[in-house]
A and B are shown apart, each in its own frame.
Chain A
């Protein structure tokens, strides 16, 4: 089996699963309980928080656990809206965000908020100057993703951060779900960023767990009220085994990160070199530093993306049309549409997404299979 759909989800690492298992058997108390069992669970929960904070160079109090990347996005956007609506109701975002962002904002629009959706250029990047122009006196939030999940474009967060230095009251949120373990630290972290969303299962942690970074001093309203967990910001009995497993997965993902990213870059290079030799292929991802090393999006003209996905499936090779979330619904790629890729080509798009477990041999086999499939459809066309 060759699994090239790591942006959809990753397989849980056996050692991470082992941690999950042990924590759920040996630290099963409720962290809020007063007694020893509660204490023990609380201790490992806080140790996990500390570990994540250390890896991300922030304070443990700035890490809040969630159930997913989508929850994180929903929380920061709606939480900001609830907290800051008296100061203004205008929000700036890009036109290529994950649906967790876009659909949350659409919901806010129904409640009277105004949203500016910034365009992207033909490589899938927004122009930082557009952010500056979009800002109004009543702007309360700028939300821009770090790495686009469909084509891999890294957004110019540093430049946006510099612009936002002059607007200290605006919340700056970054959806960084696709950006962990790819050696992108310098491009995606900036002290001006107030909130970041992360999701565990994108880096070999279990499903159902994620976290947000919330800079000290910044405040968002809670969406889940209850027993006051997570410093009263996000109630719910903590999912201790998943959280600890995620802290471990994050440590593993960020260990030797440079080499791992390098390896994915090399595989990407092999694939892109080969794609360039195929006449009827359109390529949407590049090898420049403003693209993440693990995503390659391309299209074979005239063949629908889902047909290609199924064709590869027959060889036990797994990839996606542009994003897993939209692929089943048959909706077309949000990002390619924003990049003004014609509909006919956009519906043919497929996405290869790598991680550190993929090998050169797998890529060679993938390329050989791609050739077979390509030839087959060329004859039919």
Chain B
């Protein structure tokens, strides 16, 4: 079947009262960002649904993009034909036939927006249902739980028929909950935390620390590729890379081994908070899970969290590693996360980090460092990259390569 449009039904936003328009506008914007590569599409966000007119673009391709956009409850590919009852009957029959196997039941549901149309809802239901029954003698109609559900919509510009409904990603449109910074390392947990934040409508920006030459170019590319994987949920994501070499070297020279990790993390959080302030974001997300490693004991969290009062949200805080991995696999970040490039969390990792660091000690060790100067120099060198779902960093097939192939 050659589909002519995709009808998108909104998710939780139906319940959001006055803010409805904002939510729909944001979802519209997100859908446009994700689909900008398809110039023939026309997107019409209406009050209760969004219509995406395909104009010849492949429906399956577009539906694959829609599947991951938060704020969409479900969607149906549909076919537009002239408002002619004979044609409607025939198309409905074809759509039933596509899915029919002996024993399956069906139902015709009609909605009539064009009240000028000569038949009313019941008449259309009956006429179309009869036609299907006449042509498939063994088929039964079933009102409550039909196997095959054909939806007929009579609108001003034509009749729209659909037979399949696909589940959307749910959640809230990215951006409706405001902006936050995500501390993205390159491991398994932080991309999952980012995904969960976006699912609740948070517009995230990635903050990634890198320490050349201790970390390779690959580690940075890997973090960017993880961002590519998440960008499909938002259309695009800002990736902020923060140089961390000088800070790490300074800490290594001046701080006792047991506190290396704690002080490093305090710097990371301070830098992230400074970036948050500069970029007018509201909160900080990270991938910490309670008790997973030395830096993620409650004592460590207290010692690290000490540097800011900004809300720090930890979506995977109470999840088991296996459950985090399940989500990482679902969002296709797992294989990338386990690529073994050293990142700045693992270099200078002391063999015996304190699992119960004390806040006063951390403050005392830090007092010997030029915290302000170190921060200022790192912040001066940050680089911001706009990342889209179509980018590729670890193995970009550049133009030269494709011309040679």
- A: residues with CB less than 8 A from B are 19, 22-23, 26, 34, 36, 43-44, 46-48, 51, 244, 247-248, 251
Alpha-carbon gap, A26 to B402, bound state (A):
14
Q: Specify the chain B residue showing the minimal Cβ separation from A20.
A: B404
Check if B405 sits within 8 Å of A244, measured CB to CB: yes
Alpha-carbon gap, A251 to B400, bound state (A):
17
* Nearest-Cβ distance from residue A348 to partner chain B, whole angstroms: 44
Alpha-carbon gap, A361 to B90, bound state (A):
55
In the complex, whether B1 has a CB less than 8 A from a CB of chain A is no
Check if B395 sits within 8 Å of A23, measured CB to CB: no
Neighbouring A residues of B405 by C-beta, 8 Å: 19, 44, 47-48, 51, 244, 247-248, 251
Query: Which of A36, A43, A251 touches B401 (beta carbons < 8 Å)?
Result: A43
Check if A44 sits within 8 Å of B395, measured CB to CB: no
Neighbouring B residues of A248 by C-beta, 8 Å: 404-405
Alpha-carbon gap, A298 to B332, bound state (A):
57
With A44-B404, A248-B404 already in contact, 19 other A-B pairs whose C-beta atoms are closer than 8 Å:
A19-B405, A22-B404, A23-B404, A26-B400, A34-B216, A36-B217, A43-B397, A44-B401, A44-B405, A46-B395, A47-B395, A47-B401, A47-B402, A47-B405, A48-B405, A51-B405, A244-B404, A244-B405, A247-B405
Neighbouring B residues of A244 by C-beta, 8 Å: 404-405
Which B323-370 residues have C-beta < 8 A from chain A?
none
Neighbouring A residues of B400 by C-beta, 8 Å: 26
Query: Which of B216, B217, B395 touches A43 (beta carbons < 8 Å)?
Result: B395
Q: What are 22 A-B pairs at a CB distance below 8 A?
A: A19-B404, A19-B405, A22-B404, A23-B404, A34-B216, A36-B217, A43-B395, A43-B396, A43-B401, A44-B401, A44-B404, A44-B405, A47-B397, A47-B401, A47-B402, A47-B405, A48-B405, A51-B405, A244-B404, A244-B405, A248-B404, A251-B405
Alpha-carbon gap, A36 to B217, bound state (A):
9
Which B378-405 residues have C-beta < 8 A from chain A?
395-397, 400-402, 404-405
Interface size class of B (residues with CB under 8 A): 10 to 19
Neighbouring A residues of B404 by C-beta, 8 Å: 19, 22-23, 44, 244, 248
Alpha-carbon gap, A26 to B397, bound state (A):
15
* Nearest-Cβ distance from residue A19 to partner chain B, whole angstroms: 5
Q: Specify the chain A residue showing the minimal Cβ separation from B216.
A: A34
Neighbouring B residues of A46 by C-beta, 8 Å: 395
* Nearest-Cβ distance from residue B302 to partner chain A, whole angstroms: 40
Neighbouring B residues of A22 by C-beta, 8 Å: 404
Q: Specify the chain B residue showing the minimal Cβ separation from A23.
A: B404
Alpha-carbon gap, A166 to B400, bound state (A):
47
Neighbouring B residues of A48 by C-beta, 8 Å: 405
> Binary interface profile of B, 210-254, with partner A (CB < 8 Å = 1, else 0)?
000000110000000000000000000000000000000000000
Q: Specify the chain A residue showing the minimal Cβ separation from B217.
A: A36
Q: Specify the chain B residue showing the minimal Cβ separation from A248.
A: B405
Alpha-carbon gap, A26 to B396, bound state (A):
17
Alpha-carbon gap, A247 to B217, bound state (A):
28
* Nearest-Cβ distance from residue A275 to partner chain B, whole angstroms: 41
Neighbouring A residues of B395 by C-beta, 8 Å: 43, 46-47
Neighbouring A residues of B397 by C-beta, 8 Å: 43, 47
Q: Specify the chain B residue showing the minimal Cβ separation from A244.
A: B404
Most A CB contacts (10 A, CB to CB) among B217, B395, B396, B402 go to B395
Alpha-carbon gap, A327 to B259, bound state (A):
78
Alpha-carbon gap, A352 to B108, bound state (A):
64
Alpha-carbon gap, A244 to B400, bound state (A):
12
Alpha-carbon gap, A247 to B404, bound state (A):
9
Most B CB contacts (10 A, CB to CB) among A19, A44, A51, A251 go to A44
Alpha-carbon gap, A199 to B397, bound state (A):
25
Q: Specify the chain A residue showing the minimal Cβ separation from B398.
A: A43
Most B CB contacts (10 A, CB to CB) among A19, A26, A47, A251 go to A47
Q: Specify the chain A residue showing the minimal Cβ separation from B404.
A: A19
* Nearest-Cβ distance from residue A15 to partner chain B, whole angstroms: 10
Alpha-carbon gap, A226 to B196, bound state (A):
45
Alpha-carbon gap, A19 to B404, bound state (A):
5
Neighbouring B residues of A44 by C-beta, 8 Å: 401, 404-405
Alpha-carbon gap, A48 to B404, bound state (A):
10
Neighbouring A residues of B216 by C-beta, 8 Å: 34
Q: Specify the chain B residue showing the minimal Cβ separation from A251.
A: B405
Going nearest first, the 8 A-B pairs with the smallest beta carbon separation are A19-B404, A44-B401, A47-B401, A47-B397, A51-B405, A248-B405, A43-B395, A247-B405
Alpha-carbon gap, A204 to B196, bound state (A):
52
Alpha-carbon gap, A47 to B405, bound state (A):
8
* Nearest-Cβ distance from residue A49 to partner chain B, whole angstroms: 11
* Nearest-Cβ distance from residue A161 to partner chain B, whole angstroms: 29
Alpha-carbon gap, A47 to B216, bound state (A):
22
Alpha-carbon gap, A244 to B405, bound state (A):
7
Most A CB contacts (10 A, CB to CB) among B216, B217, B401, B405 go to B405
Neighbouring B residues of A26 by C-beta, 8 Å: 400
Alpha-carbon gap, A22 to B404, bound state (A):
8
* Nearest-Cβ distance from residue A227 to partner chain B, whole angstroms: 18
Alpha-carbon gap, A349 to B405, bound state (A):
39
Alpha-carbon gap, A44 to B403, bound state (A):
11
Most A CB contacts (10 A, CB to CB) among B396, B401, B402, B404 go to B404
Alpha-carbon gap, A248 to B402, bound state (A):
10
* Nearest-Cβ distance from residue A246 to partner chain B, whole angstroms: 10
* Nearest-Cβ distance from residue B212 to partner chain A, whole angstroms: 13
* Nearest-Cβ distance from residue A39 to partner chain B, whole angstroms: 8
Alpha-carbon gap, A244 to B397, bound state (A):
13
* Nearest-Cβ distance from residue A24 to partner chain B, whole angstroms: 11
Neighbouring B residues of A36 by C-beta, 8 Å: 217
Alpha-carbon gap, A22 to B395, bound state (A):
20
Alpha-carbon gap, A22 to B405, bound state (A):
11
* Nearest-Cβ distance from residue A370 to partner chain B, whole angstroms: 40
> Binary interface profile of B, 183-223, with partner A (CB < 8 Å = 1, else 0)?
00000000000000000000000000000000011000000
Alpha-carbon gap, A22 to B400, bound state (A):
10
